[in-house]
Amino acid sequence: MPKKSIFFFCLVFLVCSLLVTGCFSSGKDNGDQNGTTAPVDEDFLVGEEFAEINEEGVEGYRGPWGAEGCFTLEDGAVVFDTSVPDAYITMDFTNDDLAGTDYQYAVVTLKTDKPEDAKNAHMKFGNTGRSFTDWGIELSDTYTTYAVDLWANGLTDWGDAGNYEPDFALNKVGAIDAVVYVSRILLTNDPPEYIEYVVGEEFSAVDGEGYWGPYGNFVLEDGALVFDTGIADAYITMNFKKSPYGYQYAVVALKTDNPEDAAGATMTFGNVGQTFAQWGMDLSEDYTVCELDLAEVTDWSGLEFAVNKGEAEAAVVYLDKLVLRSLVETVALD
CB 212 within 8 A of CB 46: no
Domains 44-192 and 196-330 share a fold: yes
Return the pLDDT at 39: 82
Write down the number of H helices and E strands in the chain: 4, 23
At residue 43, what is the residue type?
Answer: D
- Rounded CA-CA distance 270/244 in Å is 9
Task: Report the candidate in 197, 93, 101, 103 with the shortest Cα–Cα distance to residue 145.
Answer: 197
Residue 309 pLDDT class (50, 70, 90 cuts): very high
Q: Average model confidence (pLDDT) for the chain?
A: 88
pTM over 0.95: no
Q: Report the percentage of the chain scoring pLDDT > 90.
A: 78
Report the pLDDT averaged over residues 319-325: 97
- Assign domain 44-192 one CATH number from 2.60.120.430, 2.40.40.20, 3.90.550.10, 1.10.10.10: 2.60.120.430
In the chain, where the domains are located: 44-192, 196-330
Return the pLDDT at 37: 57
Report the pLDDT averaged over residues 132-139: 96
Please give the CATH architecture assigned to the domain spanning 196-330. Sandwich (2.60)
pLDDT tens digits for range 102-115 = 999 999 999 999 99
Helix ranges (DSSP H) in the chain: 3-25, 115-118, 132-135, 259-262
Task: Report the candidate in 95, 101, 121, 97 with the shortest Cα–Cα distance to residue 110.
Answer: 121
